[in-house]
Amino acid sequence: MSAKIIQSNKKRMKKVKVDSVTIDIIESALRSARYEMDTVLFRTAMSPGIREQHDEFPMIANLEGKMVVGQFGSFINAFVDAYDGTIEEGDIFMTSDPYSVNGAVSHANDWLLLMPVYKGGRLIAWSAMFGHMTDIGGKVPGSLPTDARQIYEEGICVPPIKIFKGGRLQEDVLKIILHNCRLPMWNLSDFNAIVAALKTASIRCIELSTRFGDDIFYSAMDAMLERNKRAMRELILRTVPEKKQYFEDYVCDDGMGMGPYKIACTMWREGEKCIFDFEGTDPQSIGAINFLLNEELFKMFAGVYMIMVFDPQILFNDGFYDLMEVRIPQGTLLKPKKPAALSCRTHALGRIFDILGGLLGQGNPAFMCAAGFSDSPHIMYSGYRSTGEWYQLFQIGFGGIPGKPFGDGPDGHSLWPSFTNVPNEFLESYFPLRIEVYETIADSGGPGKNRGGNALRVAYRFLEPGEISIHDDRWLTYPWGVNGGLPGQRSRKLLIRGDGTEEQIPAKCDRVKVEAGDLLYFDTWGGGGCGDPLEREPERVAFDVDAGLVTVAGARRYGVVVSADAVVDLKATTALRAKMAKQRGPVKLFDRGFESIDELKGRCLVETALPAPQQPKFNRRGKAA
Q: Is the pLDDT of residue 53 over 50?
A: yes
pLDDT at 301: 87
Q: Is the pLDDT of residue 614 over 60?
A: no
Give the C-alpha distances (Å, rounded to integers) separating 6 from 86, 90, 219: 7, 11, 22
Tally the C-alpha atoms within 13 A of residue 312's C-alpha that lie toward its C-beta.
2
CA distance 74 to 298: 9
Largest CA distance in the chain: 83
pTM reported for the whole predicted model = 0.92
Is the peptide bond preceding residue 260 cis, with omega within 30 degrees of 0?
A: yes
Residues 389, 391, 396, CA angle at the centre, nearest 5°? 175
Residue type, position 446, single letter: G
Confidence of residue 458 (pLDDT cuts 50, 70, 90): very high
Confidence of residue 10 (pLDDT cuts 50, 70, 90): low
Q: Comparing 351 with 612, which gets the higher pLDDT?
A: 351
Confidence of residue 477 (pLDDT cuts 50, 70, 90): very high
Confidence of residue 367 (pLDDT cuts 50, 70, 90): confident
pLDDT at 248: 95
Q: Is the pLDDT of residue 589 over 60?
A: yes
Q: Comparing 311 with 240, which gets the higher pLDDT?
A: 240
Give the C-alpha distances (Å, rounded to integers) separating 410 from 118, 263, 451, 546: 43, 26, 9, 17
Count CB neighbours of 159 within 10 A. 13
Closest to 119 in 3D by CA, of 255, 217, 257, 251: 217
Q: Is the pLDDT of residue 6 over 90?
A: no
State the DSSP code for 624: B
- In this structure, of 322-336, 362-376, 390-404, 545-559, the range with the lowest mean pLDDT score is 362-376
- In this structure, of 58-67, 413-422, 597-606, the range with the lowest mean pLDDT score is 597-606
The pLDDT tens digits for 508-525 are: 999 999 999 999 999 999
CA distance 479 to 490: 7
pLDDT at 625: 36
Q: Is the pLDDT of residue 311 over 60?
A: yes
- SS3 (DSSP) at 94: strand
Query: 601: alpha, beta or left, given left = phi > 0 and alpha = psi -120 to 50?
Result: alpha
Report the DSSP pairing between strands 261-270 and 273-277.
antiparallel
* Region 267-274 average pLDDT: 96
User: Got the DSSP string for 226-250?
Assistant: HHHHHHHHHHHHHH--SS-EEEEEE
Confidence of residue 11 (pLDDT cuts 50, 70, 90): low
Q: Is the pLDDT of residue 623 over 60?
A: no
pLDDT at 9: 52
The pLDDT tens digits for 146-163 are: 999 999 999 999 999 999
CA distance 448 to 83: 50
pLDDT at 622: 35
**Strands ordered across the beta sheet of 508-514:** 390-396, 378-384, 466-471, 508-514
* Region 14-28 average pLDDT: 94
Q: Is the pLDDT of residue 300 over 70?
A: yes
* Region 465-469 average pLDDT: 98
State the DSSP code for 180: T
CA distance 471 to 343: 11
pLDDT at 619: 35
CB 497 within 8 A of CB 424: no
Write out 158-173 in H/E/C secondary structure: CCCEEEEECCEECHHH
Residues 420, 305, 442, CA angle at the centre, nearest 5°? 50
pLDDT at 490: 93
pLDDT at 8: 66
pLDDT at 621: 35
Q: Is the pLDDT of residue 91 over 70?
A: yes
Q: If you average pLDDT over every residue of the chain, what do you get?
A: 91
- In this structure, of 118-127, 313-322, 474-483, the range with the lowest mean pLDDT score is 313-322
Confidence of residue 92 (pLDDT cuts 50, 70, 90): very high
Residue type, position 588, single letter: K
CA distance 15 to 90: 26
- Percent of the chain, pLDDT > 70? 94
Q: Is the pLDDT of residue 355 over 90?
A: yes
Q: Is the dihedral of CA 193, 199, 201, 207 positive or negative?
A: negative
- Percent of the chain, pLDDT > 90? 78
- In this structure, of 11-20, 43-52, 434-443, 575-584, the range with the lowest mean pLDDT score is 11-20
CA distance 452 to 448: 7
pLDDT at 420: 84
Compute and round to an integer the Cα radius of gyration of the chain.
25
Q: Comparing 176 with 71, which gets the higher pLDDT?
A: 176
CA distance 530 to 535: 11
pLDDT at 251: 94
Q: Is the pLDDT of residue 360 over 80?
A: yes
* Region 268-272 average pLDDT: 96
Q: Is the pLDDT of residue 230 over 50?
A: yes
H or E segment and range at residue 14: none
Q: Is the pLDDT of residue 76 over 80?
A: yes
pLDDT at 1: 46
Q: Is the dihedral of CA 549, 554, 560, 565 positive or negative?
A: positive
The pLDDT tens digits for 201-210 are: 999 999 999 9
The pLDDT tens digits for 388-419 are: 999 999 999 999 999 999 899 999 988 776 78
pLDDT at 616: 46
Residue type, position 281, single letter: T
CA distance 567 to 573: 11
Confidence of residue 606 (pLDDT cuts 50, 70, 90): very low
pLDDT at 602: 65
